Amino acid sequence: MSPYLAVGALIFISSLMFILPLVPSLVELRSKSDALPLNVVQQNAGEIRHFADSFRSYIRALEPTMRHCSVSGSMARDILPDGEECVVLGAVDETMVFSLQQQDSAYAVVIAAVIDLIVPAGVTFSKDIYARGQFKGGENNNYRAILGEKDVHLGPSSHVIRWVHAVGKFTADLGCRLHGRISSDSLIRLQADCSFLRLNAPRIEIGRATENGAAPSPNSSLRGSRRPRRFWYDGDFEVKAGQVIPSDIVVRGNLRIRSGARICGSVKSANNIVLEDAVLVEGSLISARKMRIGHRCAVHGPVVAERELALATGVRCGTFEHPTTVSAPSIEVSEDVVVFGTLWARERGQVVTNL
Amino acid sequence: MIYVLNIIVFAICVYTARHYWFTLNRLFGFQRHPYIDIDTADWPPVTVLVAAHNEEKVIANILEALMTVRYPADKILVIPVNDRSTDRTREIIDTFVENFPGRIRPFHRIGGKAGKAAALKDAMELVDTEVILIFDADYIPGAGLIKQLVAPFFDLEVGGVMGRVVPLNAGTNLLTRLLDLERAGGYQVDQQARMNLRLVPQHGGTVAGVRLSALREIGGWNENSLAEDTDLTYRLLLNGWKTVYQNRSECYEEVPEVWSVRVKQIMRWAKGHNQAMMTYGFRLLVGKHRATIRERIDGTLLLGVYAMAPITLVGWALALGVFYQGVAPLHGVIALLSLTAYAALGNLAAFFEIAAAARLDGTRKRISLLPFLILGFAVSIFSVSRAAVSQVTDLLTGAEFHWDKTERFRKVS
């Protein structure tokens, strides 16, 4: 081989080896196929009612049919703007009820009911449901999503895959599995053995909330301009029973607050927190690990545990006037617990009989 | 010479290991987002400071966005900090003040020391809320962002909060696309991993918040600082306050579209960072304060990221030197140096961090631009080194730092 050719070949192959990895880059640079800015959630970040609001707008296209069915007391089939099939119920249709009553039956069209809707047990609704009247579900049903303009009640052992929003009350019987977002404009009540992820309502009751022996309520609020002093402690720390702490507390170790104590500010622990019975925290309560809130405790501000949270019977978080958030990846909550605002278990929330 | 080279290679390897640790943590570790779920609360009053110096192209966008955020209107006050603008910034702000009475309190600064920190310091006279949020004028906050940035302040240890920055003009040209990738790596992986590992997430000075009592405790904004965000991060840390990062609190920004602007920007950052390293580095590592051991180590490494650029260049020169001298069979060390050099510049996010970030963001094709990052790396390493040299010469000659505002590219709204 000629030395010139060899050198030329070497230069050519070397250049090729250098350029080859850049070919996809050059193609992408020219085509700009993935050059849009990252999709940042601008308008609905964190808004629990976002899906419900979107569905309400979506279903608005059925308004003429719904009005017609409501006046005539009939049932009609319609097509939504995206081609989705929909059944509009202005009356209870015998054929539909019969088909739904078949064991393990599935219903795969969107339902829009302008009447009170009572659905039989054992049905899977794989499309969204809109209920302008009361909604009452039977036992062992599976729902994708429900928007109720009045009360929504789920029978025992029902499953919700995505979301439910009730303008009225939302109640779930024993053993329901609520996998998505559950919200109500008035009240959410879950019975024993229910599991949940994200709940939001002015008042969330676990089991039947009693007023007897209810948690202590603060007689002064620190949400005004005055900030309490920050008290630091570098190791484990314990607040004595009945003690009143007039400051915020920051503890680098474990924190135990004995029965009847009152913290007139907020509390933070870089480790575990245990609140014994009838403790009152007027500000926020934040643990970098696990937290247990004992019987009849009251916390005014947000409650956050970075790992696990257990709420014993009689706990009250927030107030009707000052709702708050209770959040942790894993939450166990006893009956007779009331949260005003949001109860959010990122991975697993479970109603237990007693803690 | 060999010993110096070995020390440099060791330092670079430490940074490389740190980057791998962060990336693996981000991909497989426990992810901390403790405050993002706080969506209902008795929200505290908040002041939003918008730093603006000749921002006629962008100021209207951010003020419009802030007027529509989901936060109780009676608890949010916007203070545009108009720092000696000579364009229409003042006029635009005053129009908004008229249109939204009681919701915007303008601060028109007509004199004083140059720089964002100095302007913010002067504007503090108007602030009386415990929570302060800071945005640069080219940012566009989403509706839920204010609550997300305020939520961490329910934690008593939190003195500063930082959100994620996302380039809006990502697709403009090669530079913006590379910066988009770099930002993704820096925030999605680097910052979040530091949050996960309880290290030192950095306050970015925009899409950020600070607690007033913490700020007062540390002596307010440092107007002599060239990077007020880094300065703030370390003063908070030394005084027992945490800075936390909220990866899901995303906000659009505009990145430089021409290389000259990018070079000026990164040189300013490098000088500010190096200044903070000289001021706080030793005290952070061995001083008596509340920072944990891991915060001390990570904080020190973070302070050193821009210093690694000139050190890497020195390492390359030494490697060439020992190679031609034939001093010792250093092939392994030199290979290690060449392999790990790219990972040394922490804030510039290494290849694998960017690849991991693209995966986490669910973007696919933009990752094919990865080979071009070597271009950004080359520009950065020389710019940062130049900044370090000029910083030393400025120190020796007593020259004053000239503040270069980052040029905007958006069309006037």
Reported as a single tens digit per residue, the pLDDT across A146-201 is 999 999 999 999 999 999 999 999 999 999 999 999 999 999 999 999 999 999 99
- Report pLDDT for B347: 46
Q: Where are the domains of chain B?
A: 46-257
State residue A225's pLDDT score: 45
First-to-last alpha carbon distance for chain B, in angstroms, is 57
**Contact at CB, B170 and A268, closer than 8 angstroms:** no
Q: Do A304 and B155 touch (CB under 8 A)?
A: yes
CB atoms B142 and A40 under 8 Å: yes
Q: Write down the pLDDT at residue A220.
A: 43
What pLDDT does residue A223 have? 45
Per the structure, the complete domain to which residue A255 belongs is given by: 230-352
Residue A62 lies in a domain: yes
| Chain centroid, CA B240 distance in Å | 21
Q: What's at B380, amino acid-wise?
A: S
Which residues on A lie below 8 Å from B363 (Cβ)?
A: 34, 38
Name the residue among B35, B143, B252 with its Cβ closest to that of A37. Answer: B252
Strands (E), B122-234: 131-136, 140-141, 158-167, 208-211
A215 band by pLDDT with thresholds 50, 70 and 90:
low
Check residue B40 and give its pLDDT.
93
CA B64, distance to chain mean position in Å, is: 25
Of A150, A185, A220, the residue at which a domain comes to its end is A185
Is A72 part of a structural domain of the chain? yes
Residue A176 sits in the same domain as residue A62: yes
- Does pLDDT of A232 surpass 90? no
Amino acid identity, residue B325?
Answer: Q
Predicted TM-score (pTM) of the model is 0.89
Interface check for A25 against chain B (CB to CB < 8 A): the answer is: yes
- Report which of A254, A331, A277, B31 is spatially closest to residue A267, judged by C-alpha positions: A254
Q: Which residues pair with B104 in a beta bridge?
A: B78
Selecting from B38, B142, B143 the residue whose C-beta is nearest the C-beta of A327 gives: B38
ipTM exceeds 0.85:
yes
Specify the DSSP class assigned to residue B186: I
Q: Would you call A302 an interface residue with chain B, using a CB distance cutoff of 8 Å?
A: yes
All residue ranges of chain B with pLDDT < 50 are 346-347
> CA B374, CA B343: separation in Å to the nearest integer?
11
Instruction: Write phi, then psi, for A126 (nearest 5 degrees).
Output: -85, 0
Query: Any chain A CB within 8 A of the CB of B366?
Result: yes
Round to whole Å and give the CA distance between A67 and A132.
Answer: 11
| Closest alpha carbon to A304 in A281, A327, A279, A272 | A327
Q: Tokens in use for B124? A: 């503090």
Going by C-alpha positions, the residue among B74, B75, B2, B50 that lies closest to residue B328 is B2
User: Cβ contact (<8 Å) for A35 and B171?
Assistant: yes
Do the chains contact at B32 and A306, CB–CB below 8 Å?
A: yes
A11 Cβ contact list (under 8 Å, min separation 6): none
Contact B370 A25 (CB under 8 A): yes
Does residue B343 or residue A264 have the better pLDDT?
A: A264
Q: How many residues does chain B have?
A: 413
DSSP of A42-54: -S-TT-TTHHHHH
Chain A residues touching B166 at Cβ < 8 A? 37-38, 40
> Residue B293 and residue A320: Cα distance in Å, rounded?
43
**H or E, element range at B69:** none
Minimum CA–CA partner of A289 in chain B = B34
pLDDT of residue B346: 46
Q: What is the dihedral of CA A108, A112, A115, A118, to 10 degrees?
A: 30
| The predicted structure's pLDDT at residue A221 | 41
| B142 → closest Cβ in A45, A248, A288 | A45
Number of domains in chain A: 2
pLDDT at residue B372, rounded to an integer? 87
The C-alpha of A272 sits at a distance from chain B's nearest C-alpha, in angstroms, of: 15
Given a cut of 70, is residue A127 above it in pLDDT? yes
Distance CA B214, CA B371 (A): 43
**Smallest Cα–Cα separation from B38: which of B313, B246, B203?**
B246
| CA–CA distances in Å: residue B98 to residues B93, B101, B102, B105, B136 | 9, 6, 9, 10, 22
A212: pLDDT strictly greater than 60 = no
Tell me, yes or no, whether A155 and A251 share the same domain. no
Identify whether A94 is part of a domain: yes
pLDDT at res. A47 = 81
In this prediction, residue B373 carries a pLDDT of 86
B247 to chain A: nearest residue by CA?
A40
Specify whether A248 is located in the same domain as A151. no
CA pair distance A318, A305, nearest whole angstrom: 16
Could you say which of A28, A47, A306 has the minimum Cβ distance to residue B368? A28
Distance CA B382, CA A276 (A): 60
Give residue A222's pLDDT band: very low, low, confident or very high (50, 70, 90): very low
Best B38, B173, B241, B254 member to test A by mutation, with max A CBs in 10 Å, is B38
Taking each helix axis as running N to C, give the angle between helix B2-28 and helix B293-303, from 0 to 180 degrees, rounded to the nearest 10: 120
CB atoms A22 and B371 under 8 Å: yes
User: Which residues 77-96 of chain B have a CB within 8 Å of chain A?
Assistant: none
What is B46-257's CATH number, 1.10.150.120, 2.60.40.1180, 3.90.550.10, 3.40.50.300? 3.90.550.10
Residue B104 DSSP symbol: B
Residues 194-223 of B with CB under 8 A from A: 213
Mapping DSSP to helix (H, G, I), strand (E, B) and coil, where does residue A191 land? coil
